[in-house]
Amino acid sequence: MSKKVAIYPGTFDPITNGHLDLVARAEQIFDEVIIAVSDNPRKNPLFSTQERIDLVDEATQHIPHVRVESFDDLLVNFVARKNAKFVIRGLRAVSDFEYEFQLASANRRLDNNVETIFLTPLEANYFISSSLVREISYYEGDITSFAPAHVVTALQQKWTETKG
């Protein structure tokens, strides 16, 4: 029997407690979860790809059967290279569904072997997004309940560098 490998793709700029909630849930379902950090410069991320990989790697050290990699092409191509079949996507609210359904449909059209699995976070994490965490931290708001401590520190350092 082959291993059930799932890919959890995203920008993770930065990783949040909501992301970690989904990783922990996925790890209970699949034999291996690969967190695929998108190297897409069109998204104009705050952190470099390597910085995001390092932040995700540190945040997931305690979760078994999880590894972190980056990709810079179509998700379905990455999924095929990793001999995976499943893509994990998070749904926070009904507003996420239409966009996520569109992505899942496009991925299935590109490769009908790819199955998208939607997971929902704990209610406490429904509203957390990377962009919200970045925005609050930019204005020096308290994000300690939204992201791991090392991410909070990395954001503070990044804003200090960019604000000069």
Nearest of 81, 119, 85 to residue 5 by alpha carbon: 85
* Averaged pLDDT, 103-107: 96
The per-residue pLDDT for 95 is 76
The per-residue pLDDT for 93 is 76
Q: Where are the domains of the chain?
A: 5-163
In degrees to the nearest 10, what's the CA dihedral of 46, 51, 55, 56?
90
Query: CATH homologous superfamily for 5-163?
Result: HUPs (3.40.50.620)
Which member of 3, 43, 81, 109 is catalytic? 43
The per-residue pLDDT for 41 is 80
Q: How far is CA 109 from CA 2, 30, 79, 104, in A?
A: 24, 24, 14, 9
The answer to whether residue 130 is catalytic is yes
Supply φ then ψ for residue 82, to 5 degrees.
-90, 5
Tens of pLDDT, residues 3-60: 999 999 999 999 999 999 999 999 999 999 999 999 988 889 999 999 999 999 999 9
135: DSSP letter: H
Which member of 38, 89, 130, 137 is catalytic? 130
Structure tokens at 70: 């980056």
The per-residue pLDDT for 126 is 82
Exposed/middle/buried for 158, CB within 10 Å: 0-12, 13-18, 19+?
Answer: middle
CB 34 within 8 A of CB 84: yes
Which member of 19, 52, 89, 134 is catalytic? 19
Which member of 65, 92, 108, 158 is catalytic? 92
The answer to whether residue 4 is catalytic is no
Question: What's the longest Cα–Cα distance across the chain?
Answer: 55
Q: At what angle do helices 49-59 and 149-163 cross, to 10 degrees?
A: 160
The answer to whether residue 92 is catalytic is yes
The answer to whether residue 19 is catalytic is yes
